Structure 1
Amino acid sequence: MADDNQLAHMVFFTLNDPAQAQGLVDGCMKYLTNHPGLAYFSAGARGEEFDRPVNDQEFHVALHAVFESKEAHDAYQTSPRHLEFVERFKGGWKQVRVFDSYV
């Protein structure tokens, strides 16, 4: 399956201080965009108005990245810009949940 499909990398950040959500979104845009093999990218704060019983409320920022291949995703994980992002922002994270799947 990995040979033919893109890899969707979805990350949900719960912050120590929810007021820092926009700063994390800005950091995502600065450090995590324009990587080789990135087919789609978006990052944003959770919409407070999405409050149906099925909506997960346990995160503040969502990152959505779709890579052309698993290899492109794997290269992204070890790229200097991604590693710098993690180092700069990890102190503000209470929890990080990652969901990877083929699409």
Structure 2
Amino acid sequence: MNNKSSRRKFISTAVILTAGSTTMAETLSMKTKNNKIAHQVYFWLKNPEDRQKLIEGVNTLKKIKTVRQIHVGIVAGTEKREVIDTSWGVSLLLFFDDIAGEASYQTDPIHLDFVKNYSNLWNKVVIYDAEMV
């Protein structure tokens, strides 16, 4: 085998390996950018007797097309422990396909109407957004 042939083999092998590495890196990059998003919201009610009204309002959010799952909750009657926060009144857990879906939810007219029509019921809201890994 001469030097020209060895050099060609080396170059073609390097090109193939580089292309494969680039494709794999792009696939991994796309995967991390498209991970599902969990949007967890906790509401502290001004008046505990408004809990059902807020639950009804929260349930209107399931009509938003980018919402994949919705779970609405209230404080569970589990064992009281120092690490458990039971000061909130209503919780909302939404799942989205990706960050774009969650961003679309934020500006959706149904979400904007919910905030406009029900924000008078709470005095505090805390939100945790998590990217699924």
Pairwise CA RMSD? 1.4
Structure 1 match to 2:7: none
Which residue identity lines up with residue 19 of structure 1 in the other structure?
E
Which has more radius of gyration?
2
Contact 1:12 1:62 (8 Å CA) reproduced: yes
Q: Which has the higher strand share?
A: 1
Partner of residue 88 from structure 1, selected from 112, 117, 120: 117
Contact 2:42 2:89 (8 Å CA) reproduced: yes
**Which runs of 5 or more structure 1 residues have no equivalent in the other structure?**
none
Alignment TM-score, normalising by the size of structure 1 = 0.90
Task: Work out whether 1:56 is the aligned partner of 2:47.
Answer: no
Alignment TM-score, normalising by the size of structure 2 = 0.71
User: 1:2 Cα deviation (Å)?
Assistant: 4.7
**Which runs of 5 or more structure 2 residues have no equivalent in the other structure?**
1-30
Q: Which has the higher helix share?
A: 2
Contact 1:6 1:70 (8 Å CA) reproduced: yes
Moved over 3 A (4+): none
Structure 1, residues 51-91: CA drift from partner, whole Å, max 9, x if none? 22221112000000010011011011001000000000111
Percent sequence identity is 29
